[in-house]
Amino acid sequence: MRWDYFVCRGVGLVWMIMALLLQLPMATESGAVEQAAMPRTILAFYDSQKSLDELWFGHVHAYAELPLNHLGLEVRYHDIRDPFPEPSSIPEVRGALLWVNMESLPDPEAFLRWSSAMIKAGKRFVVMGSAPFYQNEDQKPVSLKVLNQFWKDLGIHAENQWVRRTYKVQFTKKRSFMVEFERRHAGVLSSFEVMTPKDLSARSYLVARYGVTDQEAAHLVMVTPNGGYVAAGYARYTDDENTQRQWYLNPFEFFGEAFATGDLPKPETNTLSGRRMYYSHIDGDGWRSLTQIKAYKKKSALVSRVVLDEVIDAFPDFPVTVGPIAADLDKSWYGTDRTRALAIEILKRPHVELGSHTYSHPLEWGFFEAYNPRAEEPYLDLFPPRRLEGVRGFMHAFGLKRKQEGSLPDSPGWRRVLNKKSVQKKVVQPYLSSHYRTPRAYGVEPFELYKELIGSVEVIEKLAPRGKKVRVMQWSGNTSPFKGALSMTKKYNLFNINGGDTRFDREFPSVAWVSPLGRRLNGIQQVYASNSNENTYTDLWTDRFFGFKHLVRTVMNTEAPNRVKPFNVYYHMYSGERLSSLNALRANLNYARSQKLIPVHTSRFTEVVEGFFTTQMIPEQGGGWRVKGRNGLQTIRIDHAVFKGVDFDRSQGVIGQTHYQGSLYVSLDAAKAEPRIVLRALGRADIDPFEKRPYLIGSRWEISHLKLDPEGRGTFSYRGFGFGRAESRWRMPKGSQGYTYDVYNKEGKRLHKGSAQTDDLGYLTISPPPLAVVNPVRVVVRVAGGGAS
């Protein structure tokens, strides 16, 4: 036998040992053994030889990723043509989900062998829809031995039989909590492959009898000890145009069981300091447009003036992120003294956060990924002339203004670029959606990525108060930035948002229209807006200008029965154009005022989302978990926790707890880098438990840096930051009654002194008046008649 055989085997053995060592618990500096983080990643699959639209509009991203996110799981997409990772090398992976729009795989046997290895390594595997591994791309059938071994490892027996005529099929078992979630199985049923559970350890939720006897039955929805299976056509419904979609399957229950998330603490992205988050952001589209609202029209007021007076200034208790389009402010593009003066007014408001909606408002981002100015040359006469103002000029790019109103002024920038010999004369025209007449809204100069993003930031910051910085890039157009654009925002420490278009109302009656947290490109997270803007409610701003008032329905449906999204009011400056649209916007804000929310800036929400993907839950040997790497995320949700509560004696860095919808929301202290959460059993579920120390139930301001009286006298202090009334509710120890509290600014000056009394149930509400501060305050609470802390 050759010597190189032993070398290769030796190297392989070394790698195997190293992989095993990486999975072993690590010793910390104190000598304690640190367990591995609980796996939270699900592998899903795509084909790089198809358009990326197949990925972002595919089954997993469009349907499954939102419920998976809710269950504390993130999705990582793997190219089906790349080598598959060794199962021992991906300890962070909990399982894999195969739900693809493919008829075959390049190497189905390699995929099946790897899938079996994943299962044997303890990873859970879920197959949904038509399985593409029965043949390769040359239509060569897969080995039955390999195929049957995979099904056996999954816990399923494939009968190698198809039922194509289903008119006589009858359901003999339907578990209502798992199937027919939003839509009943009715009409002509989908054909199906006959699958049965390998043994009694599997749980079947939808069983169809296709013959005379009960033995002639196919199990269409199953969860096995190693994963799950859903037959094609029994997970979700969609019409031929994909304008309607609904779930047959309950995705929260199914994925929760199939990926065994019951014991997994979930990083929570919708809740902060015990309350549902609220945030709002404005894209600057229409900034220069004249309003049609009668009271302002006679003054020839711009819509941005209307939004400032009627919304931003009228709701100072609700922060808002404003993202102008730099071209509307730059005088060498479309800016005027009036648009700039309004920007100065708006951006100086203390509750306004600075955002950017880019420089020239790209519509088709992919057009600019490998940009050649020649490709844009055919559109130069279609860009709005500088005399065409506001919404009219902006909508010009959408084809909503067909009449030619003048051509783009002669631009030295364009002449200089197009005359360069290095610029390729003939180019392959990049894709441009039929929704758009031009690849971007404005084209005074050739596209340049740095100017588009960072240049826009520089224009906006020059009009803002000194030291006030742009925090958020608000993606424009199709909101699908390419990798280079997303990487640039990360390089310059900008948060980013937009995309998703979440709706859940009578027009879009399904959680399938609720978007996931975002998408990941090049290891960088694009954060989706939590709700759609008024554009989708008004037929692209052509009709039903009152339509945005229906946002409230989506807000309600994404709060119950499960809180899956924060409260987000996302709109454009052109909402100030018409009285009906302005009234719709104000109705949403008035509804927000009626709710128990915690208003935050948009950047704060995006920071929480980014923390979701970095958070690690480390099991502790004595019970509980250590929370590591969470960044801005400050809430952990424990599901199925009606009779569970925080053990405050053994926990560290925990500010409070809130029971809601059968779950326990644990509020963490930002001052503690790695909090520890330990739970205990509760004897009753109808009241929050008393503890030896105060703890937070919920607050309208974000609470951190909690300090308790070490002598247990009930005195405590904390740092608060927020907008409007700084109301917070605390569970106090038994016997507590009267308290005084003082509010100090960062310089130590007292801003307010007040008193509060516990109610009959032992809750203390601290509610100083609205404070005109932009920095955190310190609140000191003392037992009435007690000493200073």
3-state secondary structure 404-462: CCCCCCCCHHHHHHHCCCCCCCCCCCCCCCCCCCCCECCCCCCCCHHHHHHHHHHHHHH
**pLDDT per residue as tens digits for the range 68-79:** 999 999 999 999
Give the integer Cα–Cα distance in Å for 573 and 390.
Answer: 10
pLDDT score at 33: 62
Is 45:77 a contact under the CB 8 Å cutoff? Answer: yes
By residue count, the chain amounts to: 789
Which helix H or strand E contains 625, and what residues bound it? strand 625-628
pLDDT score at 699: 98
Give the integer Cα–Cα distance in Å for 202 and 171.
Answer: 18
Give the integer Cα–Cα distance in Å for 92 and 526.
Answer: 21
Q: What phi and psi, each to the nearest 5 degrees, are found at residue 10?
A: -65, -45
pLDDT score at 423: 64
Which helix H or strand E contains 657, and what residues bound it? strand 654-660
Quick check: helix, strand or coil at residue 681? strand
pLDDT score at 425: 65
pLDDT score at 29: 46
Give the integer Cα–Cα distance in Å for 114 and 299.
Answer: 70
Is 739:783 a contact under the CB 8 Å cutoff? Answer: yes
pLDDT score at 571: 98
Q: What phi and psi, each to the nearest 5 degrees, are found at residue 39?
A: -65, 135
Cβ burial, residue 198 (10 Å; 0-12/13-18/19+)? middle
**pLDDT per residue as tens digits for the range 555-614:** 999 999 999 999 999 999 999 999 999 999 999 999 999 999 999 999 999 999 999 999
E-only strand ranges, 687-733: 695-699, 702-708, 716-721, 728-731
The residue among 645, 789, 672 whose CA lies nearest residue 731 is: 645
pLDDT score at 204: 98
| CA 101 to mean position of chain CA atoms | 24
pLDDT score at 271: 98
The residue among 473, 287, 471, 490 whose CA lies nearest residue 365 is: 473
Number of H helices, E strands in the chain: 19, 41
Give the integer Cα–Cα distance in Å for 362 and 367.
Answer: 9
Listed in sequence order, the residues at least 6 apart from 569 whose beta carbon sits closer than 8 Å to its beta carbon are: 278, 279, 280, 531, 551, 585, 588, 589, 592
**Which positions of the chain have pLDDT values less than 50?**
1-24, 29-30, 388, 390, 392-393, 397, 399-409, 787-789
Q: SS3 string of 496-540? A: EECCCCCCCCCCCCCHHHCCCCEEEECCEEEECCCCCCCCCCCCC
